[in-house]
Structure 1
């Protein structure tokens, strides 16, 4: 599949636009790629340098064995930013598992991080914030995901229509390629996240403190329809409240926690781009 946007640096897709600093770097969640963030990346490029990319093994970047460690991802990102001539320190915008990778980068290279925006991130101590049934629920969800069969032709067509509607604001050459990628490579995110609760969680626990930089943590406040398949409504409400407490703690003494009412975990940047860009702008201005 042709690259719809961006350039390859050492086999990795990178798209940079805008001028000034600090540069903002988007780290996608598992199952997503850089182009999923094109709408917010373009808006951020209006007031500072803005970079999106695909990690090795995802999107239009070179293949790699998945899963990988958070340190491998962080070191790779550092090389990407150097090749793209994006000067640090950076504001890292990490979504979901991308939040782990952003925090690991900050542990390893604290002087290169000016701020962070964490989009509905996970945390290595997440089960401390969730109801007692959460661990059991989590195992059920993982098994259900791993056992998912290939999509039928009817499911592919329905998903294609839904994705084209979701990304309707994207340029047409990007839109078609992005939709077909997600239809073809939807298991990639499952493989990438398969070591999250073992290797990645332990890396963050052993990695030391994350530097105290300006930080905004955004929580997706909408109903989690996937979780709702496995637990009763009262447990789901308790779990979402626990995640909000976790995100407030992650913001830390110099940070701020904001809840995006109605936003979903996977697509909060598509559903509420203005709120995401506002958080990025706030952190950029504090970092400056």
Structure 2
């Protein structure tokens, strides 16, 4: 059921009532979830946002893909313009909710998932639970359990400088983050840009809330969920430090961690890509983790189209 009224208390801007980007709410298990669909054909491409991010953050890629097939962006419950719930949530709950939402929206399987960071973990968990419904996956630096054991340990003096940098950022976070989001969404349509900037400026800490159970639950769900289905897979590694990380990280700490951390990332994601028959690892030299889809949109679109072409072939 599509609901065309935006009366939820979490909508701070009543002008969104007449904004088509924020209208498509579906009643799923008693909760209202925002989903936008564009284009036609299949398999449908479904974007799973990173922690703290929302569907409209990927509007640039969504528009490009809709010229070739059905493209879907959505907000998980507890995020964006979907109904608010207590965070964090299990991967099982998130993926089950997504499945119900896609069914209610009339978007048939199979799906090609584009999962970013935490969204990449959810994409893999969906593939474990419903392997026949997944046509392929493009994973943009998905969170991975191997980071817990393979990330280098750093000296205390760098950790101290990092703590100072975080404190300084949060003392001025509204000004700092608003400028960051203004830059990120500078090419977004007027009807979307300001609501997105205002949302992210108000809810920056939601990123931490969404992934609070990453180490205690989500990794375990994925580890014990079985093998991934043998579907086409492209995994991206971003080599640059994005603006988000630079805001909350001291320069000395960045200098210390960048090279060893990038080496670990490349190894982890190469191994993930090699876990299926048609897996490919691609490196983006000019992209940062939080902004892969903004720094290198053409490369992300190409990866999606490559998997769509393989599906057709």
TM-score norm. by structure 1 comes to 0.90
SS of the equivalent of 2:288 reads coil
Deviations 1:99-148 (A, max 9, x none): 000000000000000100000112122234433x17x99xx69x959x86
Q: List aligned pairs for 1:117-132, cutoff 5 A.
A: 117-131=138-152
**For 1:106, which of 117, 123, 127 is the aligned residue?**
127
What's 1:255 paired with? 279
Check conservation: 2:273, 2:281, Cα contact below 8 A. Answer: yes
Larger radius of gyration: 2
CA deviation after TM superposition for structure 1 residue 228, in Å: 5.8
**Where does the alignment leave 5 or more consecutive residues of structure 1 unmatched?**
none
Q: List aligned pairs for 1:229-268, cutoff 5 A.
A: 231=253, 233-252=255-274, 253-268=277-292
Instruction: Point out which structure has higher relative CO (alpha carbons under 8 A, 6+ apart).
Output: 1
CA deviation after TM superposition for structure 1 residue 173, in Å: 1.0
Distance 2:111 2:196 in 1: 26
Check conservation: 1:13, 1:61, Cα contact below 8 A. Answer: yes
- More displaced 10-residue stretch of structure 1: 161-170 or 172-181: 161-170
SS of the equivalent of 2:112 reads strand
**For 1:68, which of 77, 89, 100 is the aligned residue?**
89
Distance 2:254 2:202 in 1: 33
CA deviation after TM superposition for structure 1 residue 230, in Å: 7.2
SS of the equivalent of 1:261 reads strand
Deviations 1:188-241 (A, max 9, x none): 111001000110011011100110100100111103635665747354311111
SS of the equivalent of 1:213 reads coil
Q: Provide the alpha-carbon RMSD of the alignment.
A: 2.4
**For 2:239, which of 208, 215, 221 is the aligned residue?**
221
Distance 2:237 2:33 in 1: 29
What's 1:283 paired with? 307
Check conservation: 2:286, 2:296, Cα contact below 8 A. Answer: no
CA deviation after TM superposition for structure 1 residue 150, in Å: 9.2
User: How many residue pairs were aligned?
Assistant: 281
What's 2:109 paired with? 88
Check conservation: 1:129, 1:243, Cα contact below 8 A. Answer: no
Deviations 1:232-259 (A, max 9, x none): 7354311111111111111123111111
Distance 2:148 2:212 in 1: 17
What's 1:187 paired with? 205
Check conservation: 2:111, 2:136, Cα contact below 8 A. Answer: yes
**Where does the alignment leave 5 or more consecutive residues of structure 2 unmatched?**
1-10
CA deviation after TM superposition for structure 1 residue 159, in Å: 3.0
Distance 1:229 1:104 in 2: 36
SS of the equivalent of 1:263 reads strand
What's 1:169 paired with? 187
Distance 1:127 1:150 in 2: 26
SS of the equivalent of 2:79 reads coil
1:40 aligns with 2:61: yes
Inter-CA distance 168–232: structure 2 relative to 1 (3 Å threshold): closer
1:55 aligns with 2:55: no
Inter-CA distance 18–207: structure 2 relative to 1 (3 Å threshold): same
SS of the equivalent of 2:270 reads helix
